[in-house]
Each structure stands twice: as C-alpha cells, then as structure tokens.
C-alpha cells in the first residue's frame, strides 16, 4: 500500500525507437566519432531490447515508495 508501481514499458519503447531512429540517421557521423563495432553493438542492443519489450519479455517500471 505504500508502494506505487507503474508499467512504463510503452514509454521505454518510444524512447528506444526515437533514439534508434536518430542514431541510424547519423550512422556515418557516429562511426567517425567512435567505431563501426560500437555502432553495431549499440544498435543491436537497442533492437534486442525493443524485441524483448514488445513481446512482453522485458518491462520497464517506475516504483515510488515511502520509507517508514
């Protein structure tokens, strides 16, 4: 009763999609600043998180509690 839990998975998916779209548009610049290996790891990781989140395997939550 002293803990509020909210499922924020939809928000997480929106953020991941937005960031993925941005980094994919700036692929060449990203690779110049870092490396193609870094790019592939980040993009691959975000796509895997998107897949897990949209399938229900991964959730994102906000928890608020009062310490007694």
List, run by run, the mean pLDDT of 10-residue segments along the chain (68 residues): 93 97 96 98 97 97 92
pTM of the shown model: 0.79
CA 61 to chain centre: 12
Helical spans, DSSP H, in 1-68: 9-25, 27-33, 36-55
What phi and psi values does residue 58 have, to the nearest 5 degrees? -125, 135
Beta carbons of 7 and 59 less than 8 angstroms apart: yes
The neighbouring-strand residues paired with 62 are 6
pLDDT (0 to 100) of residue 67: 84
Please state, in angstroms and rounded to a whole number, the distance separating the CA atoms of residues 65 and 62. 10
């Amino acid at each position: 009763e002293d803990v509020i839990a909210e499922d924020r998975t939809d928000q997480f998916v929106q953020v991941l999609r937005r960031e993925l779209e941005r980094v994919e548009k700036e692929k060449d610049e990203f690779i110049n600043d870092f490396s193609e290996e870094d790019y592939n790891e980040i993009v691959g990781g975000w796509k895997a998180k998107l897949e897990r989140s949209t399938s229900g395997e991964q959730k994102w939550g906000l928890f608020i509690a009062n310490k007694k």
